[in-house]
Structure 1
Amino acid sequence: MPELTGKVVVVTGAARGIGAATSRELARQGARVVVTARSLHAAKALADDILASGGEALALACDVAEPASVDAMVAGVRSHLGKIDALVNNAAIVDPVGRIVDTDPVQWMRAVEINLVGAYLAARAVIPVMLEDGGGTIINLSSGAAFRPLEGWSAYCSTKAGLAMFTRSVDLEYGSAGIVSIGFSPGVVDTDMQGKIRASGINPVSQLPRESLSDPKDPGRVIAYLCSQAGREYAGKEVDIREAGLRLAVGLAPVAA
């Protein structure tokens, strides 16, 4: 029996891209997946597809930048499923893309609200639920952009850097109580976000050919692995999908030299 069977895993920003691929993989491995997105229609479409494939899924609307919306989502999970074993903080935006003085301040602040505050709000809401059952796992979608600046990505880089410190803060405050907090960098993945990046023409990432990007299924498999007991090895750490040992454990092919 898969280790995730019966586990309740909440995925934010789950309607497409890495979030959708992760939700499908979690369900394939037996988890009861809570598919969340700002659009309930989009979340329900994915949840229905998972259900049709024999998995278990619940669709709930959630705007991670709104405290009341996050709290309502978590209350909905508790009402329907009774517990939360893991949270995947996937919701994020790359906008605004542009040099600092050319960006819209409102868009810049919106990136902070979604990428950083959203992860905080979700973690803040689920931690008490997890503690009732003796622990849980929180995976924050990180990025190499958290550790090196890229032209035109001041908002994205700054929020991901803040998220990396938030991962460590959760580990410091709740690790001893059984909360596993992990930052996971999925690499450059073929998603709608990468389409926006290519269209911008700014910095080297925008120049990468689409055929060089990885399939969202790859990070989905790693995230599911990190949600299992094996993820405890990475508590409080930043993990990169290119790490050889991790890829071997998950069953992904080595990164080409």
Structure 2
Amino acid sequence: MTRSCPPVVLVTGATGGLGAAIATALAADGARLVLTARTERAVADLAQELRAAGSEVLPLPADITDPSAAGAVARRAVEEFGRIDVLIDNAGVEGPVGPFWEVGLDDWWEAMRVNVMSTAAAAHAVLPFMVGRGGGRIVSISSRAGQHRWPTLSAYSVSKAAGIKCMENIAHEAREHGVSTFSLHPGIVPIGLTTAALTDDAPATPWHARRRDWLVRQLSEGRGTPVERTVRAVASLAAGTADHLSGRYLTVDDVLGTRESDHRPDPAPA
């Protein structure tokens, strides 16, 4: 990304740990940012912090799972900046933890709704503007759980699988219009949802304890991904370095190459 022609980047789930890290890095690269998340105060605080560092930021708190709200965010972004170059689809929830037949089906479906609609509504809102301009990129923060599985977190796993397939289909449909899409597995990043699990000192169920213990083990065995490396992969995709891989599910190592430390590949959840 160059400062002579700063791109306009919309980040959803912008105030979570990973979302804020991505927004901060993109701002440092010179991007003009549109930040959205459900909590108005958190969105305003992050925008103020980035503006203080000299960035152009438009804070737009919204429930991005609501298609009307997502559409309003996209339209307001275009009114302010004239275009949307990149969507970073980062909003989502973990969902219920436990065997499929033990978790409440309403809770399971709510996680599906939030994760699938946050991706679909945001993409649906920005694509008309990208297609109209003849180009754009969507980077959807995904998970190995969607590409493989994650027993006892089935709603999360199935919803991420849906997101991967959504990006794959959009890539084919919008290719002739210059739009590229990616599903990026960020790795086991010690931030956001992972942090919440790691700091769960009183797990609600044995399944919550199992999830926590698995994450602790992966990080202790060197299978984690530094936040800075994940953010660099996102920025690289946003800058167009991997447009030839549009539609693909990618890992951080796919984007940046294997680390010199010969870091072992991120395993599938047990």
TM-score by length of 1: 0.91
CA distance in 1, matches of 2:3, 2:163: 28
Report the equivalent of 1:98: 98
Alignment of 1:142-221 (within 5 A): 142-198=142-198, 199=200, 200-203=208-211, 205-208=214-217, 212=222, 213-221=224-232
Question: Aligned-pair distance for 1:248?
Answer: 4.5
Question: What's the offset of the Cα at 1:92?
Answer: 1.1
Q: Aligned-pair distance for 1:253?
A: 5.3
Letter in 2 for 1:152: T
Cα 1:102–1:197 shift into 2, 3 Å: farther
CA distance in 2, matches of 1:195, 1:227: 25
Gaps of 5+ in 2: 201-207, 265-270
Instruction: Please identify, of 61-70 and 86-95, the stretch whose mean Cα deviation from structure 2 is larger.
Output: 61-70
Contact 1:98 1:202 in 2 (8 A): no
Match of 2:245 in 1: 234
Shift of 1:100: 1.1
RMSD over aligned Cα atoms: 2.1
Q: In the TM superposition, what is the alpha-carbon distance from 1:5 to its structure 2 partner?
A: 4.3
**AA matched with 1:240:** T
Contact preservation (8 Å) 1:138, 1:181: yes
Change (3 A) 1:62 1:205: farther
- Are the structure 2 counterparts of residues 138 and 3 from structure 1 closer, same or farther at C-alpha, using a change threshold of 3 Å? farther
**Count of aligned residue pairs for this structure pair:** 253
Identify the range of structure 1 (234-243 vs 122-131) with the bigger mean alpha-carbon deviation: 234-243
The CA deviation at 1:112 is 1.4
Q: Distance in 2 between matches of 1:165 and 1:145?
A: 13
**Distance (Å, rounded) in 2 between the aligned partners of 1:207 and 1:55:** 36
Q: 1:206 to 1:98 in 2, by over 3 A?
A: farther
Corresponding residue number in structure 1 for 2:114: 114
One-letter amino acid matched to 1:185: H
Q: Quick check: 1:25 aligned with 2:25?
A: yes
Structure 2 CA distance for partners of 1:64 and 1:224, relative to 1, 3 Å: same
For 1:255 and 1:177, the matched residues in 2 are separated by 38
**Counterpart-to-counterpart distance in 1, 2:5 and 2:227:** 22
Q: Which amino acid aligns with 2:149?
A: P
- Mean Cα displacement is larger for which, 136-145 or 147-156? 147-156
